[in-house]
Amino acid sequence: MLIYLVIVVNFQSWIDPFIIITALPGALAGIIWMLFTTGTTLSVPALTGAIMCMGIATANSILLVSFAREGLENGLDATAAALEAGFTRFRPVLMTALAMIIGMVPMALALGEGGEQNAPLGRAVIGGPHRCDHRHAVLRSNRVQRPSPQPSEPRTGDLWRVVGRAEPVIREKHLA
């Protein structure tokens, strides 16, 4: 709750922090899934890894929402701004997730003497981005809406209904 309020002050909005916080259940589900599939108990190192994952998921969401807000300020409609933000931030988010996963593999495998002590941390860190970041661009960017949309614009941000109108705008900008 405290993190939510800090983000509210930063963004000066109640909606954007809510969109940002929607990344956390996916990361938490990934952590629990990884700990369950590997038979690892919930411990202090696992919770430390969970905190690391929550921080990375929040940071990625903040960047995505910021890019989408920039697009709205530059005159794009909500869907085009959200899709452009997702396309722009996809590679950095993927690189961050892969760096975390690859960096934690030796720790998760519990190699070496005393390696089993920190294995839960590595497994939790691997599970979070695995489940959270592959949906990052579409799910959270699709929720960004203009504060007061025009009646002719889609109010729900339904990606499948409006993707046909937004795609040519994005393709033109990236190919030019």
**Local confidence band at 174 (pLDDT 50, 70, 90 cut-offs):** low
Q: For residues 76 and 165, is the Cβ–Cβ distance under 8 A? A: no
DSSP symbol at 155: S
Q: Residue 132: its pLDDT value, please?
A: 62
At 45, list the tokens. Answer: 């190192």
CA distance 69 to 117: 43
- Distance set, CA 86 to CA 12, 34, 43, 52, 117 (Å): 22, 26, 34, 23, 37
DSSP symbol at 148: S
pLDDT digits (tens, 9 = 90+) for 114-148: 888 889 999 999 988 766 655 554 455 455 554 54
Measured from the Cβ of residue 87, the count of other Cβ atoms closer than 10 Å reads 16
Q: Residue 136: its pLDDT value, please?
A: 52
Q: Residue 97: its pLDDT value, please?
A: 84
Q: For residues 168 and 81, is the Cβ–Cβ distance under 8 A? A: no
pLDDT digits (tens, 9 = 90+) for 67-122: 888 988 888 888 888 888 888 888 888 888 888 889 999 999 988 888 888 899 99
- Enumerate domains of the chain plus CATH numbers: 22-147+155-175 (1.20.1640.10)
Q: For residues 46 and 35, is the Cβ–Cβ distance under 8 A? A: yes
Q: Residue 157: its pLDDT value, please?
A: 45
